[in-house]
Amino acid sequence: MQEDFNYHNELISQVSLPYLTQSSGPAGFGSGLNSLSRYSFRDLKRVTWNKRSGFFDNGNDELTPKGFTASVYEIAPGVKVDVYNLHADAGGDANSLEARRDNIRQLSNYIKEHSDGNAVIVMGDTNTRYTRASDNIELLMSENGLRDPWIDLIRGGNIPVDGDALMDGTNKNGPNYEVVDKILYRGSRALSLQAQSYRLEDQVFVDSKGNQLSDHYPITATLVYSISSQYQLSSSVGGSGGIGFNDLNQIPDAEPSSIVINTGNRVDGITAIYRDGTALSHGGSASATTLNLAEGEYLTHMTIAQGTRNGDKRIFYVELTTSLGQQIAGGQRTSDQIQLEAPVGWYIAGFYGRAEQELDQLGVVYKPIRAK
């Protein structure tokens, strides 16, 4: 939802969905961005645009902290999607157009930095049109591999060219009726996403007399998913600090030959080094411990323990065990931990989570063992 300001309590009064974001406040204080979900989510971030325009010419874009939210939804165990909800700058004057282009660049850069390797869904009021030459909504697609179900399913894969706005009011679900609200998506190496349907819903968000409850029609899309036979993600523990990472796109066609952990009172960093020389490192540096794996030896089990530091969860302890019983461990044990075991015939091939100077969150990537 966007522009969910002063009527939030009324809006959710009949909602039975189990997972709701807390309102960020009324108009002038909150972004108006909220989510209602049947699926659990974590790591909610509220990000304000770097540029806003419109205090004098186009309403309240500078009075309201518009921006986007980012969070991780778990659709099923190990089935995770990064979900973004946005409300971009409005208006058609030069300053508003510049601010809106900057909004889209900011979001694109954030997705590249925090969602590398992850499945992604972007939803919201972009205030953009494909036909408007001064808008850059296509940037989100070209830089992040995102698709639009309206383009794929309704327009046969054809992005509208610059020119007159597509405003066919007699066929609101047709190829010639573009709205500024968009749904964009992509899958990952672990999770395939495919759009099955797209609709502009002009009859569902109405009062008892059939009057529209919003100045925008809702749009809906159905996405179907399938899990890869070559990659799986475990669950994860830890906090929401740091920058998101996922080894999925970087794991080479080779097994790990060694693991390095950097530890002190907590776990600062972790590195997987592969037999082709690739090294994937995350977090900071501290005292290093290395475990070397023999040919045909695999990482099969991992214990990850979390604790609280500066008000958020961090990774305090890790322990890795191989198929031959070797172990590497470091940090400070806590009772708040998870045990990760590779499925039979699979091994721990890499990691995902959040990190900067320390490891804030950690999970693993599994791959099947190849027959020799």
Q: What is the distance between the alpha carbons of residues 46 and 26, in angstroms, rounded to a whole number? A: 15
Q: What is the distance between the alpha carbons of residues 174 and 169, in angstroms, rounded to a whole number? A: 9
Helical residues (DSSP H) of the chain, grouped into ranges? 8-12, 94-114, 138-144, 149
Cα-Cα-Cα-Cα torsion 91, 92, 95, 101, nearest 10 degrees, comes to 90
Q: What is the distance between the alpha carbons of residues 310 and 341, in angstroms, rounded to a whole number? A: 30
- In the chain, the amino acid numbered 215 is D
**Cβ-contact 304, 266 below 8 angstroms:** no
Token representation of residue 99:
């601010």
**pLDDT value of residue 372:** 66
**pLDDT value of residue 56:** 44
Cα 336 to Cα 67, 317, 353, distances in angstroms: 34, 10, 17
The H-or-E segment that residue 279 falls in is: strand 279-283
Q: What is the distance between the alpha carbons of residues 339 and 137, in angstroms, rounded to a whole number? A: 42
Radius of gyration of the chain (CA): 23
Cα 138 to Cα 24, 154, 218, 351, distances in angstroms: 29, 17, 21, 31
What residues form DSSP beta bridges with 182?
124
Superfamily name with CATH number, domain 8-227: Endonuclease/exonuclease/phosphatase (3.60.10.10)
Q: What is the distance between the alpha carbons of residues 64 and 46, in angstroms, rounded to a whole number? A: 13
232-368 CATH pick, 3.40.630.30, 2.100.10.30, 3.40.50.1360, 3.40.50.300: 2.100.10.30
**pLDDT by residue, tens only, the chain of 372 residues:** 999 999 999 999 999 999 999 999 998 899 999 999 999 999 999 999 999 886 544 455 677 889 999 999 999 988 999 999 999 999 999 999 999 999 999 999 999 999 999 999 999 999 999 999 999 999 999 999 999 999 999 999 999 999 999 998 888 889 999 999 999 999 999 999 999 999 999 999 999 999 998 999 999 999 999 999 999 999 999 999 999 999 999 999 999 999 999 999 999 999 999 999 999 999 998 899 999 999 999 999 999 999 999 999 999 999 999 999 999 999 999 999 999 999 999 999 999 999 999 999 999 999 999 876
Interacting residues of 346 by C-beta distance below 8 A, sequence separation 6+: 232, 366, 367, 368, 369
Cα 209 to Cα 17, 202, 204, 296, distances in angstroms: 25, 14, 12, 69
Domain ranges of the chain: 8-227, 232-368
DSSP, res 159: P
**pLDDT value of residue 69:** 98
Kindly tell me the sign of the dihedral angle through the C-alpha atoms of 24, 28, 33, 34: positive
Q: What is the distance between the alpha carbons of residues 19 and 4, in angstroms, rounded to a whole number? A: 16
For the whole prediction, is pTM greater than 0.85? yes
Token representation of residue 156:
């046969």
Among 279, 278, 283, CA closest to 362: 283
In three-state secondary structure terms, 29 is coil
